[in-house]
Structure 1
Amino acid sequence: MVTLIRSQIPKSSPDISHLIAFEDYCQHNSGWTIKQGPVLFNPRSFSLRFFSGIQALLKPILRRVKIKGAVLSLGLPYYHYLTAKTFPYFGTDCDLRVLWTYDVWAPDFDRVEQLVNKSKIDLLLLSSYQATAHFQKLNLGNCKVHWVPETIDVHAYQHKEWSERSIHVLSFGRSWQQYHEVIVDGCHEHHINYQYQERSATHDVAVHGLKKKLQFPTTADFTAGLADSKICICFPRCVTHPALAGEVSTLTIRYLQAMASKCVIIGAAPKEITRLFDYNPVIEVDWEKPVEQIRHILDYPEEYSTIVEKNYQMVHQHFHHQQAINQINELVKANLT
């Protein structure tokens, strides 16, 4: 038996929106018991500490409350977020305290280790293979660690026929400035419609967590933009922002979103791709002739139709939210018995 604690966080950023969408899907398709966490009102920093503080004060009382089975939280590997958004359920005496999360990068390993120990997590499920391997080597007491990759609701994404797509090249969210700089002038020169998120030292969605001046203000805008794009640029975070990711190279949902939208993916594949695919779903960048490579894809799309369709089938069969639900159920069952 699994009890999912739903987050009640204002939808103020794309990552929170994705998390809420995952929880929505789980509520309607998992068969899990659903409990609502508290509304994390603004200012967010105050509400996080407010509910975390109440949880700490009520700890002796909450430990007398028994919840059978597993209590599950999804996402946000930060102590105050975890304790606040799951209040009061994570503080109870449950059989299994479970956290599945993404965004566990090498520079954060020590902090996440402290979170696991302090929150008394019994089952830690991580979306990154490298992060999973690291935490499996640690002394985390009775906590078990397993790999559960990120997934999407594939039916939330659309796709158009190639000839109907007006965006030739799309770079969304965080970008790699080095690649951007070698193609931007050539794309303009050859009348290639290249759309990208503006980035500067003070305006970087990966670093500053910006909520304004976003390339796609809403989820509907984003899915429509992907459906209207022929080529989508994807690089691992360890390439675009090594100071934030360290050496962790994981399959983030940007790859899956591009696959579900039937875009040709150009860039670089994450290291763990060989553990998930028996082929490379990414067209690796030709650094000697990067603009010519883009022009070739646009001029000869039939050469890439096979990999586009293969990626589309792959994401449907192996990276749908239902796959994550099934894997979580299996791991919970194994650890409860």
Structure 2
Amino acid sequence: MGIKLRLLQSNDDEYFLDCIDELYRTIEKAPSTFDTQRILVKHSRFKSFLVRKLALCPFLFKLRPRFGHEEAINFVSMISGDFRLLIPYAFTTKLNFIYMYDVWPRFHPWIFPLLDFFNVRYVFFSSKQVLENFNQNYSHVKCKAIWLPEALSVKDYQFKAVEERNIDVLEFGRMYYEYHDRIAPILAAQGKHHIYRKPDMTLLFPDKKSFTNALASTKVVICVPSNITNPERAEYISSMTLRYLQAMAAKCLIVGNLPSDMEELFGYNPIVEIDMADAGNQLLEVLAHYEDYQSLIEKNYEHVIRHHQWENRWEIIKDKIQEAL
């Protein structure tokens, strides 16, 4: 039996957190010398309160609390600085590793120093720009970091033949309202099937199955990075997010804006760039000549299979863990 590898996971059941579950399932199924154990961490107001207080007390950042010397590895995939998932596990071993999404600039001053407080050996940032900021401005932090883009498990997604796809345009996730307001009336006037979240809806899809079924039936997916849809939150961070990969895994054509790191990842432009000046008519043209984009759709699908699955990412994470042992 190898060293214990604890996968720490929130017990929240929102389906949009399935990207974390996909990664953990990949780790559990991969050949490994680790004794892998998944632990669901219950919501705790006290833990959340503690992390908030820590963030307000920079003089505590240099502390390295330890409550034991357990022979174990902790790994957690978390949204931003959700350090409560590491409490108390991080304080019993120095082998702590984090995969981190949505690390917005306003959080950097407390997230980055707290990596050392929680004895994190390696942090894997989904955004290249976050890594660059970390390297340029936080060289005093001992935790090591690398850029590791988001990924998925292709087998969790499906696709239909073009003639069986009955959704013309799908907007899911963050809404780009300026763009939506330009395309919605034109698509409606032409009788196109356009699905998007209405103001009275909390979520567009109730679960992952209904979401993947919709993707499989969709021709065009609108994808725009957060620095455009929510600049007050993301500021300058422009990264490839899961929605791009999900659309490609379902063999949908993406119309949108290219994140700053995505062409580097693909080696070509995998999307159709939005023409804001003629947004609605552009979509009608794309739908009228959809067959012209089949080679791009297939190229994207094959690229995701080869390079952007969690199996690819786990190999890198595993190497860094073994390097630290």
**Mind listing any 5+ residue stretches in structure 2 that lack a counterpart?**
54-62
Find the counterpart in structure 2 of residue 21 from structure 1: 22
Q: TM-score, normalised by structure 1?
A: 0.85
Instruction: Verify the 8 A CA contact 2:8 2:74 in the aligned structure 1.
Output: no
After superposition, the Cα gap between the structure-2 partners of 1:184 and 1:30, relative to the gap in structure 1 and judged at 3 Å, is: farther
Deviates more, 1:291-300 or 1:311-320: 291-300
- The answer to whether the Cα contact below 8 Å between 1:37 and 1:85 also exists between their aligned partners in 2 is no
> Partners of 2:107 and 2:193 in 1: how far apart?
37
Give the deviation of 1:98 after TM superposition: 1.3
Q: Is the 8 A contact 2:7 2:76 kept in 1?
A: yes
Q: Which amino acid in 1 is paired with 2:309?
A: H
**CA shift for structure 1 position 37:** 3.3
Matches of 2:40 and 2:267, distance apart in 1: 43
Say how many residue pairs are matched: 313
The AA in structure 2 aligned to 1:173 is G
1:67 maps to amino acid: E
Give yes or no for the alignment of 1:285 onto 2:263: no
- The alpha-carbon distance between structure 1 residues 244 and 253, as it changes in their structure 2 partners (threshold 3 A), is same
Matched, 1:298 2:287: yes
- Does 2:12 correspond to 1:10? yes
SS in 1 for 2:320: helix
Quote the residue 2:152 is aligned against. 152
Q: Find 1:64's aligned residue among 45, 68, 78.
A: 68
Tell me, what secondary structure is at the counterpart of 2:237?
Answer: coil
Give SS of 1:16's match. Answer: helix
- 1:197 to 2:201 alignment: no
Give aligned-pair identity as a percent: 27
Q: TM-score, normalised by structure 2?
A: 0.88
Counterparts of 1:307 and 1:266, CA distance in 2: 12
- Work out whether residues 5 and 86 of structure 1, in 8 Å CA contact, stay in contact via their aligned partners in 2: no
Q: Following superposition of structure 1 onto structure 2, how do residues 42-81 of structure 1 map, counting pairs within 5 Å? A: 45-46=45-46, 48-49=48-49, 63-67=67-71, 70-78=73-81, 81=82
Q: C-alpha distance in 2, partners of 1:323/1:75?
A: 19
Distance in 2 separating the partners of 1:60 and 1:269 = 41
Q: Describe how 1:226-241 pairs up with structure 2 within 5 A.
A: 226-241=215-230
Report deviation, 1:52: 11
Q: CA deviation at 1:90?
A: 1.4
2:177 is the counterpart of 1:177: yes
Give 1:4's aligned amino acid.
R
In structure 2, the residue matched to 1:106 is 105
Give secondary structure in 1 for the equivalent of 2:306. Answer: helix
CA contact (8 A) 2:248 2:297 kept: yes
Structure 1 residue matching 2:98: 3-state secondary structure: strand
In structure 2, what is the Cα distance between the partners aligned to 1:117 and 1:15?
29
Shift of 1:295: 1.4
Q: Which amino acid aligns with 1:311?
A: N
Q: Which residue identity does 2:26 align to in structure 1? A: Y
For 2:277 and 2:52, the matched residues in 1 are separated by 53
RMSD: 2.6
Q: State the secondary structure of the residue aligned to 2:174.
A: coil
Bigger shift: residues 16-25 or 281-290: 16-25
Q: One-letter code of the match for 1:63? A: F
**Runs (5+) with no aligned partner, structure 1:** 54-58, 204-211
TM-superposition CA deviations, 1:107-140 (whole Å, max 9, x none): 2211312321322322111010000111112124
CA contact (8 A) 1:4 1:35 kept: yes
Structure 2 CA distance for aligned equivalents of residues 47 and 110 of structure 1: 20
Q: Show the counterpart of 1:269.
A: 258
Structure 1 residue 296: deviation in Å? 1.6
| 1:189-228 mapped onto 2 (5 Å cutoff) | 189-199=189-199, 213-228=202-217
Name whichever of 265-274 and 114-123 sits farther off.
114-123
